[in-house]
């Protein structure tokens, strides 16, 4: 808008100058026709000088208009380029900010996951390190007691598969059932336990005597020190 106003103003000035020049020429011609022979008339050289002066002013005005137009075009192009550069900088800033936010969110999520895993591991360690024990003796009536190595329960399942596995591992013994209904493997009571703490073949003390780990069960996940004793109950 500012560019158009300047051009329009310069064009108007040129038009006025040209109009003045035309009027001057017309006045000279009219004066030559109407002025008496003996009247004072401007010398031709003075008129020519005035015409040249007006033409020079008109030329200078046109040149100024061209220079102004070129200057305005240059400024407009420069401002346009600056605007494009600012847009690119803004776009890059937003992309960098988004990337940093995503990296920060990923880092926090990773830290939170690691923290939760550490808490689980710590809980498991504490559970393993501090088993609850007691002096109760397991029987079919009580069902659950706190024995010398932790919580004790009992179960009654076919042990043939368990025995086959123990023999394949090199543990050979006779399977038999004690008078009180406790299943035996050689001289030891058959028990199930958490195998990560007490692998198969581990000898462990129970409320009913010394036992050997031959099996495991779902209980091991929640109570790593629990023993499930094999019986006929």
Q: How far apart are CA 214 and CA 197, in angstroms?
A: 13
Cβ-contact 213, 204 below 8 angstroms: yes
In a domain, 127, yes or no: no
Q: How far apart are CA 218 and CA 146, in angstroms?
A: 19
Q: Is 156 helix (H, G, I), strand (E, B) or coil?
A: coil
Dig out the tokens for 77 from the structure. 């192009």
In a domain, 119, yes or no: no
15-33 mean pLDDT? 65
**Domain boundaries, position 39:** 2-102
Q: How far apart are CA 160 and CA 185, in angstroms?
A: 11
Same domain assignment for residues 97 and 157: no
Same domain assignment for residues 160 and 72: no
pLDDT at residue 135, rounded to an integer = 76
Counting the structural domains of the chain, the total is: 2
Strand pairing of 227-230 and 209-215? unpaired
Q: How far apart are CA 150 and CA 129, in angstroms?
A: 11
Digit-coded pLDDT (tens) for 100-149: 888 999 888 888 888 887 776 665 554 444 566 677 899 989 889 999 99
Same domain assignment for residues 20 and 87: yes
Residue 59: pLDDT band by 50, 70, 90 thresholds? low
Digit-coded pLDDT (tens) for 162-182: 999 999 999 999 999 999 999
- Indicate whether 1 pLDDT > 60: no
Same domain assignment for residues 97 and 10: yes
Of residues 197 and 127, more confidently modeled: 197
In a domain, 38, yes or no: yes
63-80 mean pLDDT? 73
Same domain assignment for residues 92 and 8: yes
């Amino acid at each position: 808008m500012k560019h158009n106003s300047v051009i329009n103003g310069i064009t108007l000035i040129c038009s006025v100058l040209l109009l003045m020049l035309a009027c001057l020429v017309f006045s000279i011609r009219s004066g030559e026709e109407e002025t008496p022979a003996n009247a004072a008339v401007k010398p031709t050289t003075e008129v020519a000088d005035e015409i040249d002066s007006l033409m020079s002013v008109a030329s200078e005005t046109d040149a100024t208009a061209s220079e102004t137009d070129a200057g305005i075009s240059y400024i407009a192009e420069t401002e346009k380029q600056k605007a494009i550069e600012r847009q690119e900088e803004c776009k890059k800033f937003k992309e960098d900010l988004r990337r940093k936010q995503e990296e920060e969110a990923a880092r926090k999520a990773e830290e939170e996951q690691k923290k939760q895993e550490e808490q689980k591991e710590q809980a498991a360690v504490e559970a393993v390190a501090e088993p609850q024990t007691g002096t109760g003796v397991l029987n079919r009536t009580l069902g659950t007691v706190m024995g010398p190595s932790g919580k004790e329960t009992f179960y009654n399942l076919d042990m043939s598969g368990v025995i086959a596995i123990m023999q394949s591992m090199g543990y050979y013994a006779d399977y038999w059932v004690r008078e009180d209904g406790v299943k035996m493997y050689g001289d030891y009571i058959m028990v199930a336990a958490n195998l990560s703490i007490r692998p198969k073949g581990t000898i462990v003390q129970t409320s009913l005597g010394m036992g050997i780990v031959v099996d495991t069960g779902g209980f091991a996940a929640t109570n790593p020190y629990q023993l499930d004793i094999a019986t006929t109950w």
